Amino acid sequence: METERPDLVVIPEFFNHPYVFNERDHEHLKRAEPATGPSITAMRAKAAEHKIHLIATLYEEESAGLYYDTAFVIDPAGDIVGKYRKVMPGLYLSLERMYFRFGSRFSVFRVGEWKIGIIICYDTFFPEHARCSAVNGAELIVVPFAAPRVGPWREMMITRAWENAVYFAPCNKVGPESGWQFGGESMVVDPEGAVLACAGNEGDEIITATLDRRRVFEVRQKKPFFRDRRPDLYGALCAQTEDIHG
């Protein structure tokens, strides 16, 4: 990845408007945009201008009354080549479930030779989500965020990288907005948990990192977590809700 012109650019969740989903106001539904709206159109133009892959996440209007929190994958020609819809809208600190529907796929996207997974913000609090992305083939998982500083942020990002032997790259909003103080600390973590780059928590920054795909293979040979998994024993994770106790 070249510093002057990176292969992949990731920007935070809800980059195009303030975070409003901690408020109960149906007027905020008007902030949703279709894939053909001005924000993604502008991002497509920038991707084509700079000949880069770009991941941009916004409040998507799929159709009248149907909305998602969606990460769009845009290629260097400016074409939308994929999308990931947030599987777990937040209800921990926010009211996101009031505003958008659950996604249901942990898709993996090709960016050059890389296989890239995406999860969004609150998804990260569920280790199953990153694991599903990794099991589906992801070598790098990017995570658009709009979150205040919550708990052991740095340790959680390192753990998700380490336990899945993937590069892990959260990209968070930063600074005061809508009554919240967004936590920043965007970072890039390697498959063994080494932090390759990390932003601060005071203001906007651009961080870059050079990734080596061979590193994923080397670490997975050394730590054969995927060989040693026992999915035949994990039925409780997929059981009917009323049949489990957690």
At a CB cut-off of 8 Å and minimum separation 6, what does 140 contact?
Answer: 114, 115, 116, 117, 166, 167, 168, 169, 211
Are 9 and 53 in contact by the 8 Å Cβ rule? The answer is yes
96 is catalytic: no
DSSP state string for 18-71: ---TTS--GGGGGG-B-TTSHHHHHHHHHHHHHT-EEEEEEEEEEETTEEEEEE
Sheet strands (E) in 86-136: 108-111, 114-118
Q: Would you call 86 a catalytic residue per the annotation?
A: yes
Q: Which residue stretches of the chain are H helix?
A: 38-50, 127-135, 153-164, 213-222, 225-228
121 classed as catalytic: yes
Q: Which amino acid is at 29?
A: L
Q: Which one of the listed residues 33, 60, 115, 121 is annotated catalytic?
A: 121
Query: CA 170 from chain center: how many Å?
Result: 7
Q: What is the distance, to the nearest Å, from the Cα of residue 78 to the centroid of all Cα atoms in its chain?
A: 20
Question: Considering 60, 83, 86, 185, which one is annotated as catalytic?
Answer: 86
Residues with a catalytic annotation lie at: 13, 86, 121
